[in-house]
Structure formats: C-alpha cells, structure tokens
Amino acid sequence: MTVAQGLLNIGLFVPAGLLWTTLTRRPAAVFAGLVLLSGAVELVQAVTPGIGRSCDSADLEANLLGAAVGGALGVLAGRGKRIALRPADLRSGALALLGGGVLLGVATAASVLVVVVDSADYSVVSADQRAVASRVLKEFFGDSAEVAAVKYVPAPAGGHGVLDVASSAGMLNVSWPTGEAVSGQVGPAGAPSGPARTDDELIAASRRFAAAHFPWALSGSTPTAVPADPDGAENIEWRTTLGGVLMPMRFSTVVSVDGTVLAFNARHVEPGALPEATVSEERARARAATAYPGLEVTGATLLAQPDPEGRWHVRWLLSLKSPPSADRSVLGSVTVDATDGNLVPRDQIVTDGGN
C-alpha cells in the first residue's frame, strides 16, 4: 500500500467515526462497528473475482486509525452533549466486536488464502522486479490478479535469485532475472470440491497445466504419479529421457483428487550437446562394486550432470546399500563417468544441476 492509499483509507473513515459518534453518543460501539465494516470490506475484496483488489492488513490498519481519529473528534466535539465512554457502551462495543470478529474469522478461514509477509523484506524490490512479478502472476491467475507483496531472495555464488510473489489468488516463486516461474501454490486450500478422478484424469490435468505454462516439460517426457497426501492428491512428475540419458529438466504438479492443480515445481535446464556414453551399465556397476566392496549396487541411472565450472557430462548414478547380513545398515550412492569409467569426486558433482 502506498502513502497516498493509506491517507485515503484514513480519510474515508474519519468522517464516519465523527458522524456516528455524534449521532449515537456511543463511541465504543461505533468504533467496533467500523472495525467490523472494515474487515467485511477487505473480505469482500479478497473473495470477489474481477475487481483487481486483494485483502491487505495495511488497509485494515489505516481504516481503523481513521475510525479511531473520527471517534475521538466526535467525543471532543460532543462534550456539551455528554458524549463519553460509559461502561454500557464499552460492554456493547466489546460484545459486538467479539461476535462479529468470530464470524469474520470463520468466513476468512473458509475462503481466503492468508499470506503473512514482512513489509521490510520487500520494500527494496526494484520497479523491474515488481513488473516481472505482476506479469507472471497475471499469466497464472488472470488479469485481475494483484500483487500483495514481493520479496527478492538473492542467490549465493552469483546464481539466479528468486522473487517470492504473494497475492490473494496464490503464491509464486519466480527466477530472477530470467522471469521464469519455478514453483508456486496455485490451487485453493481445503477439501476437494468435486468428484474423485482416475489417475489418467489427474495426469491429463497436469498435462493441460504444463501445456499452458511449461510446454518444454512435455517434450519427450513421461509422467509418473505417486500419492502426495492422505486426501488422495497425487504428485505428477514429468521427466525427459533422450537417447537413454535422463535430462536435467524436471516438472511436477500436485493435483487434488478432483483434478485441481494445487502446486507445481519446475526446473528448466538445457545442457546443450552431451558427450557420448561409452561405459555400459554393467561396467559402471563393476566399478562401483570394486570401489565399495561389501555393498550391493541396487540401481543405476544414466543422467546428464554439470560440474562446478558449468561443463556438462554423462554419468552413471549408482545406488548402494549393505546386504541383509551386514552388522549395520548403510545406504549411499556413487557416480561413475560414462565416458571413461572413473569415479567422479564429490566436489565435482553439482547437486542443483536438475537431477
């Protein structure tokens, strides 16, 4: 909220507080009524589509300040009319505030996504970053979506930072400066509102969402579905394999049992040309078994992976575990270069490479 908007909100409630305090001679009850009115206005803004407004606690605070100033002016102006705070007025105001507050709280919990933000965190966001946040938000939620808050989180070691974008419609994390959405909460909280769908229908819902926002995720990819929570939501993950190599880009959605996309994660990485894999899975398994005698190789995946200098490699990732007869349980993994069969040192593996 800007300073001008704050002053406007204060100015709107000062006359109401002054007028109704003068007319009713019950300042506490008037203040309680204006508190509830302000809360109701913010709730309507949050749940009404197409008006381009969101529910903002700063608006509520400005409204209450205006109501308090108006009520105080009414008390001062009405001293000759015996306008003052009385026990009966305080009791009625407190009861009204308590009862109305409970109703507003129930309505808010049932229909509004509450976003808690620290204004100090996003006050330094640049105009370009706010513009990107607004553009991406509208791409997901429509032209009426309004940014409630933006926070920029710089990345370590000169990588891409992230814009945390909050609104009444949902939340997004946007890579900066690329402007690509990398994750977000895009569906309503609460119990599913429609009939249960089959796995194929949930995958189809994920595919439609990807086609609309992340078409790159569908190129040569295969979906897998696993349960995401006890309510029946499923995590649909899309991974791309080219020439037998698992590529670093990944995309996943959480889809509720009624087919609503609730959340997503996206990792768009293009490794470019990759060297040819000349080491077979059998040879990679043998290399791992030689390096770690006593452990069993339980799985092998051929994948594209970068090193710290940004060069891309084709490597075997092999899962290890101790045999059932071992004194203690050991789980681990080892990486073998698929071009020369050598073990890849841990300091040459970049965990944020997409795989």
**What tens digit of pLDDT does each residue of 307-337 get?**
888 889 999 999 999 888 777 777 889 999 9
Question: Which pLDDT does position 243 carry in this prediction?
Answer: 87
| CA 56, chain centre distance (Å) | 18
169 with 77: CB under 8 angstroms?
no
Distance CA 67, CA 6 (A): 13
| CA 115, chain centre distance (Å) | 10
Retrieve residue 170's tokens: 């949902």
CA atoms within 13 A of residue 153's CA, in its CB half-sphere: 8
Query: pLDDT above 90 covers what percent of the chain?
Result: 39
- The residue among 46 and 35 whose pLDDT is bigger is 35
Report, as an integer, the average pLDDT of 188-201.
77
Retrieve residue 88's tokens: 């009966």
**Of how many residues is the chain composed?**
355
* pLDDT tens for each residue of 251-302: 999 999 999 999 999 998 877 789 999 999 999 999 999 999 889 999 999 9
Looking only at the bridges linking them, the beta strands covering 312-321 and 161-166 are unpaired
> 277-305 burial string, b = 16+ CB within 10 Å, else e?
bebebeebbebbbeebeebbbeebebbbb
Q: What is the dihedral of CA 319, 325, 326, 329, to 10 degrees?
A: 50
